[in-house]
Structure 1
């Protein structure tokens, strides 16, 4: 007993320690609010949010909601029914989650981690891409295999195929890619899937899909992929979507995945109970029912995106093709300076170290001020 007491006394003086993986995980850096500047209205362009929030019909739902004391339906049955009819898919193919990130965590928890023998599964994704990917993969117990983007910010699909090993369990395709902007086409994705082993889960992350569908595609170019045209033909494909971006429900956290029963049967087990609140479900349903109003706002944001992109290109700046609600400035070592200059004019932007800066499309006035900032910045990005 003396040894036991000595052990307990020693251990009681130590702080709780996290798993070793925490020492290797990056920290998620959310977009910061703008700094107050006297005489200037502040604009936040750092988080890819819809600057106008939800449509009025959703605002009515939010103001009248009165059942916060009741647990939500853990299966989001009504939302899945409305979504199924709207998208033309079987509601049983839909699994909801706390944003598309919550839905992604369900997938990784189900299909990627450490095996019984201690060997780690591998998850392949492009980099740079959504910065939560390495965090989620690491917490799941799997190994991140990051494949550098091409010089134009797009996925290097051939290199991603070459990275597949016997330990690969999941591949993430972010389209349009956050933070660089390019989107994959259906031809590219289908060709890729034909070469991926059928036991590997391929996630098509379409958080910005509505901005793709509202984009005008130049004649002769292939349009961005629509995951709903892909998944019926592949039992290993999962499509991710969210209500955070186009619908302006980022603060309510509701997203979903779409896949075959071979996958959904497990995702429902991995899903966090009650992750989608009743309020979030009602707001999402109203957004679906008033999809035309949502898309009117999306089309305006897309037109503003194109205005911004053209203005920067007229300055001689190189901007990667973007099908999302943001533009990527490949400023390299000048990225921190640009972010600081933005603060001086009451704009917040999202700098990624010394790689580049992502700027969300915001209110018209904010976009005009952003263009003016670029006019006075002497280190504009050049085509690689």
Structure 2
């Protein structure tokens, strides 16, 4: 495929961009317009926007379509379109604000790959179905009833010929009025209506294939010793891929809408497992853990909680170099499934911090990161005095759904 072909396709995509219809819209008609342009199920397009929202670009793409796609002409015969649902507009605005905050907050490169994927999908969709724009069918021509040619002599009440009656409209079976002598015959019965075309069972077949694929994947992972909580997102991903394929097939066959609830629930579960893996929830118990060691011997190698709160106070920890001259770092690790982690370190200590949260907020002094896969790393921070002294302190924090804060003093 040459560069000229790509440019020609992009130009055609812009010139034949769909209008947003006034009927069948949920918010602004972006999904309905795209679906009618390429003759696919609008539910598939709406599901695509929802899936794109998990990558942080769904709301921005919808607003871009709202701006770039023209509003469809009003049809006087069509029912008046209702106003957009208020809660949908509010949710769209909140999602768009989060998207803009993600882009301008330093995570702009994270949305480049999803944008490229969406652009490639739109390009391929236009290449395969660009000639399937929905055309409005011509209005059927209504035949004007014809009357019998000329007056027909009939007998009046006295039996005399020559009186006439008003012409009678021909029946439906003789629209040309060719056999007026047989108009008094009963109308022929209409042919039996054809049964509606049978829709393929996309929903049950896809659910069955997803169940088989999930079971086979679980057996393979079990035999390989990989079926653990940490790899549960892989199993969900396989099932989600089958459901996604069923939705695509169903969109072209205009069926399979029963898969949408399953796909949305599994998408949310898979995203949560990727953002906060279950292996981070395997801490030592639940509840509050408070510790304030003052000696290196009293400092535990790790502090763990499945859910709750960890408050580790290291401000009085003795980090002086011992008589044997050991200057190796003093290390500790914190693991939290869901909750809050607070660590206080001496103001002048030499600190190295690596803190991660699957979903939450991570802070160290003025450094902060939030959202999915929040991460803050500080190497060899010399503290308030700016002088290397004593044994360095190395803290590794691994959390799932949590707020993590490391501060001095």
Classify the TM-score, shorter chain: under 0.3
Q: Which is richer in strand?
A: 2
Identify the structure with bigger relative contact order (alpha carbons < 8 Å, sequence gap 6+): 1
* TM-score normalized with structure 1 length: 0.21
State the structure with more CA Rg: 2
